[in-house]
A and B are shown apart, each in its own frame.
Chain A
Amino acid sequence: MSAAQGELLTVDGVVAGYGAAEQILKGTSLKVAPGEIVSIIGPNGAGKSTLLKTIAGLVQARDGTIRLKGGDVTRENALGRAKAGIGFVPQERNVFGAMTVAENLEISGFQEPGKVGARAEELYARYPMLAEKRKALARTLSGGQRQILAMAMGLMNAPALLLLDEPTAGLSPKAADELFDAIVALNKGGLPILMVEQHALEALQISTRGYVLVSGRNSREGAGPALATDPEIRRLFLGG
């Protein structure tokens, strides 16, 4: 077992991209330990979302390894990674718009139909808005409500690790703050979270650790709040 003791997710030297020749990730590495919130920040085109998609199995790694709980999942497809315990909430088209909130939750627990009812009830209790809107079509929800639903859908399979791709994109500042609160609450319940965020400062402030990605390579890493106050990071990425 080459994964460091205690690591939940280990990404080591991953190379990946979309076209035959195009490489977005050029040897990216990161780790997530149990209980952590880890943020990936970086300029546009750095490969942040591609990294999450590669971990989720939507983009196949050409080189490097991805290990979850010590097991090599590099060659698993998205279905295999979902079964292995990786929950991924995409940035866009992350709910089934033509289905109701209740159906979205139910279908997200497709792998374990016997547990769907109890898990959905837990999520209704955690997010009362979903209970109120359970019969509404997902496409009728506001941006913030939709992100909560998408996150709740990511929880229906009881993942070992939740990946969030720009969860606050397109949200109002108030809705974004509420979503960050929801992410922290979720993590306090014991769920490790790896997220990519454009609102880098806010994300780093709630993160245990952060990685800075530039042109598909690791640039910096460190404790989240420390990175958030690092003058160079602020100047480079946050305009501060």
Chain B
Amino acid sequence: MSQLLQALINGVMTGTLIAVPAIGFSAIFAVLRYPNFAIAAYATIGAFAAWWANVAMGLPIPAALLVAFAVTGFVGVVAEETSLKRLRGNGALIVAIASIALNLVLENIVRFIFGNEMRGYDLPIARDMRFGDLRIGPQQLQSLLLAVAIMAAMFLFLRYTRFGKAMRAVADNPDLARLKGIDPAKIAIVTLFLGAGLTGVGGVLIGLDTSIDPLTGYRVLLSVFAAAVLGGLGSIPGAVAGALMLGIAEELALLVVPATYRTGVGFVAILLMLTFRPRGLLGERAA
């Protein structure tokens, strides 16, 4: 029983961490209508930007998160404007494939600058908190709270700010948004900055839990994509729900299958969702 509870807790922790980049991925999809697989590199870039801020510059983790957000958001906008944007007219599939190529380029730039070795953040060593047989790491808990705060901020932005509402309007109906005087191109830039920035922050949160290297983002790409598909591509609440579902499913699966099959859970989740409910949990359109 305690094993099951521990798996559930771990699943919520994992899911919450995946949710942050999944929100970024879904936001970009909602507005630009293509899956941007370069988010794996954005997560890695965010993780390294925060590492530089935290370890090299001595900034605390919350400040390092802000650095990661700004750097990755900037990289996301520049990458889009210089490479993917000109391909948009050729359809979502072409841009999605190009984003895989972009991902490889960005990942190798990180590799060129920082090398291949694992790096860790400057964190105090602390014992796990124990609640009977259950254990929770203080860093995990802090990451969970940070992720929840980031998600809450994103929801408030989308619900209450002028630009947040404009983003939702463009995602809902870009032609009508244009008629209402909203420039979808400007909204796309804001969305890319936010989406890539959040993905970068997600990379840091994932790195805080373990360590970072140039493949940090790539390792979670499938989980992030699966979370977005489960929730319904383009739905931000869906991305959170999908991430939590996936996180819990991955951890529960570990009770019965070896850890090497963990990523298989993402594939199975995508397969089942696309078979039985192609628009995902909360998606509006067929995915």
The interface of chain A, by Cβ under 8 A from chain B, is: 56, 58, 77-79, 82-83, 88, 90, 93-99, 103, 106-108, 110-111, 113, 153, 156-157
Contacts and interface: CB of A to CB of B under 8 A. Distances in A.
Contacts of A153: 180
Nearest to B171: A98
Given A110-B162, A113-B162, A88 B168 contact: no
Contacts of A110: 162, 166, 180-182
A140 B105 CA distance: 46
Given A96-B172, A98-B284, A107 B179 contact: no
A229 B165 CA distance: 47
Contacts of A98: 168, 172, 284
Contacts of A93: 173, 175-176
A82 B172 CA distance: 19
Contacts of B173: 93, 96-97
A106 B165 contact: yes
A96 B181 contact: no
B178 interface: yes
Given A107-B166, A110-B162, A90 B176 contact: yes
A76 B273 CA distance: 44
B270 interface: no
Nearest to B165: A107
A152 to B, nearest CB: 12
Interface string B149-173: 0000000000000100110110011
B181 A82 contact: yes
Interface of B: 162, 165-166, 168-169, 172-173, 175-183, 284
Given A77-B178, A98-B168, 8 more contacts: A96-B177, A97-B284, A99-B168, A103-B165, A107-B180, A110-B162, A157-B180, A157-B181
A72 B183 CA distance: 21
A157 B180 CA distance: 8
Contacts of B284: 97-98
Contacts of B162: 110, 113
B165 A82 contact: no
Contacts of B179: 56, 58, 78, 82, 88, 90
Contacts of B176: 90, 93-96
14 contacts: A82-B179, A82-B181, A88-B179, A93-B175, A95-B176, A96-B172, A98-B172, A106-B165, A107-B165, A107-B166, A107-B169, A107-B182, A110-B162, A111-B181
Contact of A79 (B166, B168, B169, B181): B181
A96 B169 contact: yes
B143 to A, nearest CB: 31
A77 B178 CA distance: 9
A19 B172 CA distance: 25
B165 A79 contact: no
A90 B162 CA distance: 23
Contacts of B177: 96, 107
Contacts of A95: 176
Contacts of B178: 77-79, 82
Closest 7 CB pairs of A and B: A111-B181, A96-B172, A107-B169, A82-B181, A108-B180, A78-B178, A110-B181
**Which of B165, B173, B179, B183 lies at the interface centre, i.e. has the most chain A CB atoms within 10 A of its CB?**
B179
B134 to A, nearest CB: 39
A99 B179 CA distance: 16
Contacts of A106: 165
Nearest to B284: A98
Given A58-B175, A96-B173, A82 B180 contact: yes
Contacts of B175: 58, 78, 90, 93
Considering residues A78, A93, A111, which has the most beta carbons from chain B within 10 angstroms of its beta carbon? Answer: A78
A82 B284 CA distance: 28
Contacts of A83: 181
Contacts of A79: 178, 181, 183
Contacts of B181: 79, 82-83, 110-111, 157
Which residue, B168, B176, B178, B180, has most C-beta atoms of chain A within 10 A? B180
